[in-house]
Structure 1
Amino acid sequence: MWALIQNHRIKRLVNLRDKEEHVTAPSGRRSDLELASPGAADSPANKQASREFGVSKVAENLSTAMYLFGIGSGSLFAGPLSESVGRTLTYLVSTFIYLLFLLGSARTPTFGGQVICRYFVGLFSSATLSINGSSVGDQFRPVKRAFVFPILAWANITGPMISPIASGWIASNPNLGWRWTEYTTLIISAVAWVVALLFLSETYLPVLLDWKARQLRRDTGDKRYVSDHSTGSLFQRVKSILPLPIIFFSTEPVISVLGAYLTLLYSIMFTFLSGFDYIFQQLYDLSTGQTGSCFGAIAVGSTIATFAAPALYAWTRRKTKFEHGATVPPEFRLWPAIITSPLLPIALFWLGWTNYQTISIWSGLFACGIFGIVLMSIYISSYEYIIDSYGEHAASALASITMVRYVVAGGMVMASRPMYEGIGVHWTMTILGCLSVLLAPMPLVFKSYGSQLRERSRYADSPVGMPN
């Protein structure tokens, strides 16, 4: 990062006048007129793939959008299936098929093949994204989740932020190229799948009780050992559970509003895949690898927020008076979001309206770090609030949020480049900042009225215990 800043300072001193007048750059360097073109703002993987397939670079963004659409549509099925056949089977089967399509995405010789493979990569990877929060809820008591869940959330958030850093340098390497971004993901995912195959155990209690009842029937011959989960056929159970994500998002205000908040955050995060080329690369004349490294600022912010997990855990234990197995009212989980939500519009306005060459690049990076803190805090609050509120239906509730946020984020990936080109960085960030202002009070509203909403809900639990 230090080398990035030093490089920027030198280039700014040498090229400031040329950049302002849009003159032709010296031989061997790109001019600023070229940097302002759509092609110059593409990531290296996008640029290389579009050249190889003979399509426009904007069209190549469709592969990323289809991946996000796949996650959104797959989430409709992953949550309900995990509540019917169990978490482990859902994880293992879907991830194995995901690996096959990931290999296809790396090897495909055509643009159409890449788009199709990327959709199914997203479709079958959706299980790990939509039900991992429920798996944490299965395994840990409410108080311990205050410490454990932020660690899981950190992995979910920093992964997409670290990927552009790695892919930028991989694609820039002439000995590797864009296909190795897929191969690298495949290698890491395959290792994780083998570890899961060997060590991952089932965590969903109704399925575990069903297995126990089945074992008792075999051992004793007594057919009276039956669990509630085993009533009806598999098809009937899946049929009854499958509509739940849509029902949750359309009828539960908590799911709708928190889902909208996370959708906005993820839309901003994925628009940065194109936006950082305009925010940092064009303005500060960074290389492609250096531009990808700017995503490290968001990762640093999310990491800083994660460091608050021990303090949050200690606060939860004190509030529950160290009682073993104490329940935690969902509204208590909203404190990280309540504290940090006002920082989101500040970070976006800051990033947009300090985006001038005369202002240090550190200003924009610092704003991105604040965005990372907010993203992490609201993610933690929203997921833990929903897990505590909806109990055994949490997987379907979280799946509904995952569905909406990734479908919208996929659309934003396609719209982001025209937005940055059409209205510029300043007004793009202003629009997103104004939307965040509207949503900023929502965590505080739910803290005041959340218990009343849960009482009216058909699916929500109402744990009692400590004061909010």
Structure 2
Amino acid sequence: MAFFLQRRAIQRHVQTELQRVTEFSGPLSAPTEEAKELGEWEAPGKPSKGEPYSKIPGITLMEDCNNEVYYQVDWASPNDPLNPKKWSTIHRIGATMLVCLVAFVATIASSIDSAVLTSATAEFGVSEVAESLATALFLIGMGFGALLLSPLSELLGRYLVYISSLFVFGCWILAAALAPNYGAQIAFRFLAGFSASAPLTVAGGTVGDMWSPVEKTFALPLYAIPAFGGPVFGAYIGYSRGVDWRWTEWITLILVGVVFLLILLLKRESFAPRILSYKADCFRRLTGNKNFKTAAEASHGSLGDLMSKSFLRPFLLCTQPIVMAFTLYLTIVYIILFTFLDGYPFIFAETYGINEGLSNICFLGLFVGIALSAILVPIAYRRTTQQLKNDGDDGSGKAIHRESRLFFAMVGAPALPIGLFWMGWTDYDSVSIWSPLVASVLVGFSNICVFMSAYMYMIDSYEAYAASALTFNALIRYLAAGGMTIVGIPMYRNLGTHWTLTLLGCLSVLTVPIPIHSGKHPPKATENPQLHFTSLVSPPIGWHQTPQNPLQSTPHVANLPIAVVSFAAHRRFKSFLRYRSEIQIERIGLVTQIAPRKRRSGGYM
């Protein structure tokens, strides 16, 4: 409902602007005598300096990738209410909370089956290790699904991806609840995970759509805390007394249905290029002029070209040091988290002899740790605003030091090995149960801090295309987490809780220096923040503008792999077999241009 109201508001806005121009200049189709005398009027439908369309705020005469003049549609003003970053604070908080609910439900489904292995193994006659595939394949499906849904969100918009993925997700959960045999169950769980992958990839981009760099300091934790609490809450539900494996699927289906209705009724489109596309479409329909385009539409060309670039984007971004570094970091953290969750029956039920009705209460320690991370948000916000003030930021937040996003991880990373060693070395029936419970608080606190830092860092680096940057990250970490879900139970049985937790603690020690080192020696690509590849989004050069020498526009130049360069150069130079180029990233204005090398007598370098 809100989505369709948003579309109507865009149409009313366009109608108002056209009416103002008509009142000022007369009928748009009729040329003025002055324009005829000066020769500045052309046939209707062809952009020219004599037409009044360019007087509309946000409309500029530009040249597309085929050197044809068109009307570029952009925001009417810096404070355009159609811009998601300029929505009211209440609307943005509400939209963020909707995204939180989507992520919360999807991550609940990722772990809820792991707590009901016993009832499923009894019904299907398989081992616990075999039944753990229901959880593992769900996680693996989430990883592979991100490869499809994230690019789609940048092609079709966030809203359509949320609606379609949630609907399909609910259908597969229903099928899993009615599964007649083991094979059908794990197959439907994989498909459910595939369709549920949007929250932790698309949702991260959605947060970046609506909040400025400074505001993301508190906005992203608002999303991350429920999202990261989902696996913990899923395990809590699964371990509840009287809940079997089919009931966990029905509970998940009910939650998905509620969230689907909320998204359907309340969610608006937040992806700026898509909103501008709706605006350009309104201009085309209301004027009958097909030359109204957004910068993205003009640079992409055909629909096939647009789709190929959208689906190729995550693979181009995965070569970036930022993406590679934080993918490794979060993969290790997720391996530890899901292996740790597998051990709760061994850590508490077997050691202290508590029943299933009480063992699920032990997950409250993780909840407390995740919630405690909120204490750091005001501190991080104050540090960020002070840094911007010292650097003389113009209010846009573009001068923010991305290394400051690692504050959460720097504080939380040491807590992970401490909590794991603490729990592993005090998990004895002779020691109070409160000891491992308090240790679990540190584990929950550390995991959410690392998650928030990694997401804020990558979202700040890639802005509108953060969803693509998070795609490769999601694929690798969910594949690893899915694999560890299978081997987690045998590890606890064969090594025992003490050695298993000690092993995880040793692994977590390796992650402690990562945020500290990244803060002092950031990945090379961070010298050129907010990469916008020309092959993906290329603001065209205006017909009246003279392109600057890109090598003189900024002191920061990044060389990307030749495969990326060739692909990016293809549209501008028509043949990547004859040309080689360098991509220059302009820090101010966030415009990427291609700088052809000097021509030699034998051709291009």
TM-score by length of 2: 0.66
2:326 maps to 1:258: yes
CA distance in 2 between partners of 1:331 and 1:423 (Å) = 39
2:492 corresponding residue in structure 1: 420
SS of residue in 1 equivalent to 2:196:
helix
**More moved, 264-273 vs 63-72:** 264-273
Aligned runs of 1:39-78 on 2, under 5 Å? 45-78=116-149
2:441 to 365, 369, 373: 369
Aligned runs of 1:40-439 on 2, under 5 Å? 45-169=116-240, 172-173=241-242, 177-230=244-297, 231-249=300-318, 251-321=319-389, 324-327=395-398, 328-439=400-511
SS of residue in 2 equivalent to 1:223:
coil
Greater RCO (CA < 8 Å, at least 6 residues apart): 1
Give the C-alpha shift of residue 463 in structure 1.
Answer: 6.1
Decide whether aligned partners of structure 1 residues 330 and 463 sit closer, same or farther in structure 2, where only a CA change above 3 A counts.
farther
The answer as to whether partners of 1:92 and 1:196 remain within 8 angstroms in 2 is yes
2:515 maps to 1:449: no
Decide whether aligned partners of structure 1 residues 44 and 240 sit closer, same or farther in structure 2, where only a CA change above 3 A counts.
closer
Give the partner amino acid of 2:307: V
Give the partner amino acid of 1:329: H
CA distance in 2 between partners of 1:43 and 1:89 (Å) = 31
Query: Could you list the per-position Cα deviations for residues 197-224 of structure 1 after superposition, in whole angstroms to 9, with x for gaps in the alignment?
Result: 1111111111112221121111122222
CA distance in 1 between partners of 2:587 and 2:457 (Å) = 11
The answer as to whether partners of 1:43 and 1:288 remain within 8 angstroms in 2 is no
The answer as to whether partners of 1:337 and 1:378 remain within 8 angstroms in 2 is yes
**More moved, 425-434 vs 378-387:** 425-434
CA distance in 2 between partners of 1:100 and 1:213 (Å) = 35
Unaligned runs of 5+ in 1: 1-41
SS of residue in 1 equivalent to 2:293:
coil
CA distance in 2 between partners of 1:44 and 1:374 (Å) = 23
Give the partner amino acid of 1:204: F
Decide whether aligned partners of structure 1 residues 67 and 272 sit closer, same or farther in structure 2, where only a CA change above 3 A counts.
same
The answer as to whether partners of 2:209 and 2:463 remain within 8 angstroms in 1 is no
Give the C-alpha shift of residue 186 in structure 1.
Answer: 0.9
Give the partner amino acid of 1:263: T
Give the C-alpha shift of residue 343 in structure 1.
Answer: 1.9
Aligned runs of 1:28-47 on 2, under 5 Å? 45-47=116-118
Give the C-alpha shift of residue 273 in structure 1.
Answer: 3.2
Query: Could you list the per-position Cα deviations for residues 286-330 of structure 1 after superposition, in whole angstroms to 9, with x for gaps in the alignment?
Result: 112322222221111010102332332233223323963322221
**More moved, 397-406 vs 287-296:** 287-296
Q: Matched residue pairs, number?
A: 418
Query: Could you list the per-position Cα deviations for residues 265-303 of structure 1 after superposition, in whole angstroms to 9, with x for gaps in the alignment?
Result: 222221133211111111111112322222221111010
Give the partner amino acid of 1:434: C
CA distance in 1 between partners of 2:379 and 2:367 (Å) = 20
CA distance in 2 between partners of 1:457 and 1:339 (Å) = 33
Decide whether aligned partners of structure 1 residues 193 and 444 sit closer, same or farther in structure 2, where only a CA change above 3 A counts.
same
Give the partner amino acid of 2:402: P
The answer as to whether partners of 1:390 and 1:460 remain within 8 angstroms in 2 is no
Decide whether aligned partners of structure 1 residues 339 and 44 sit closer, same or farther in structure 2, where only a CA change above 3 A counts.
closer
CA distance in 1 between partners of 2:192 and 2:479 (Å) = 14
1:12 corresponding residue in structure 2: none
Give the partner amino acid of 2:247: W
Decide whether aligned partners of structure 1 residues 43 and 400 sit closer, same or farther in structure 2, where only a CA change above 3 A counts.
closer
Query: Could you list the per-position Cα deviations for residues 5-29 of structure 1 after superposition, in whole angstroms to 9, with x for gaps in the alignment?
Result: xxxxxxxxxxxxxxxxxxxxxxxxx
Decide whether aligned partners of structure 1 residues 273 and 445 sit closer, same or farther in structure 2, where only a CA change above 3 A counts.
closer
The answer as to whether partners of 1:65 and 1:413 remain within 8 angstroms in 2 is yes
Q: How high is the sequence identity, in percent, across the aligned residues? A: 38
CA distance in 1 between partners of 2:159 and 2:114 (Å) = 36
Query: Could you list the per-position Cα deviations for residues 334-387 of structure 1 after superposition, in whole angstroms to 9, with x for gaps in the alignment?
Result: 111112212222222112122222111111111110011111111111000001
Give the C-alpha shift of residue 439 in structure 1.
Answer: 2.0
CA distance in 2 between partners of 1:329 and 1:92 (Å) = 35
The answer as to whether partners of 1:331 and 1:446 remain within 8 angstroms in 2 is yes
Give the partner amino acid of 1:447: G
Q: Over aligned residues, Cα RMSD in angstroms?
A: 2.1
Give the C-alpha shift of residue 49 in structure 1.
Answer: 1.2
CA distance in 2 between partners of 1:460 and 1:296 (Å) = 50
CA distance in 2 between partners of 1:225 and 1:362 (Å) = 65
The answer as to whether partners of 2:151 and 2:468 remain within 8 angstroms in 1 is yes
The answer as to whether partners of 2:380 and 2:407 remain within 8 angstroms in 1 is no
The answer as to whether partners of 1:454 and 1:461 remain within 8 angstroms in 2 is no
SS of residue in 1 equivalent to 2:517:
helix
SS of residue in 2 equivalent to 1:80:
helix
Decide whether aligned partners of structure 1 residues 443 and 179 sit closer, same or farther in structure 2, where only a CA change above 3 A counts.
same
Query: Could you list the per-position Cα deviations for residues 400-433 of structure 1 after superposition, in whole angstroms to 9, with x for gaps in the alignment?
Result: 1111111100000001111112222222222222
Give the C-alpha shift of residue 461 in structure 1.
Answer: 7.2
Give the partner amino acid of 1:277: P
CA distance in 1 between partners of 2:584 and 2:511 (Å) = 23
CA distance in 1 between partners of 2:429 and 2:559 (Å) = 52
User: Where is the strand percentage greater, Structure 1 or Structure 2?
Assistant: 2
CA distance in 1 between partners of 2:193 and 2:465 (Å) = 23
The answer as to whether partners of 1:350 and 1:364 remain within 8 angstroms in 2 is yes
Give the C-alpha shift of residue 76 in structure 1.
Answer: 1.1
SS of residue in 1 equivalent to 2:510:
helix
Decide whether aligned partners of structure 1 residues 93 and 235 sit closer, same or farther in structure 2, where only a CA change above 3 A counts.
farther
CA distance in 2 between partners of 1:274 and 1:446 (Å) = 31
The answer as to whether partners of 2:322 and 2:523 remain within 8 angstroms in 1 is no
CA distance in 2 between partners of 1:332 and 1:44 (Å) = 38
Give the partner amino acid of 1:120: L
User: Where is the helix percentage greater, Structure 1 or Structure 2?
Assistant: 1
The answer as to whether partners of 1:103 and 1:183 remain within 8 angstroms in 2 is yes
Give the partner amino acid of 2:522: G
Give the partner amino acid of 1:188: L
2:63 corresponding residue in structure 1: none
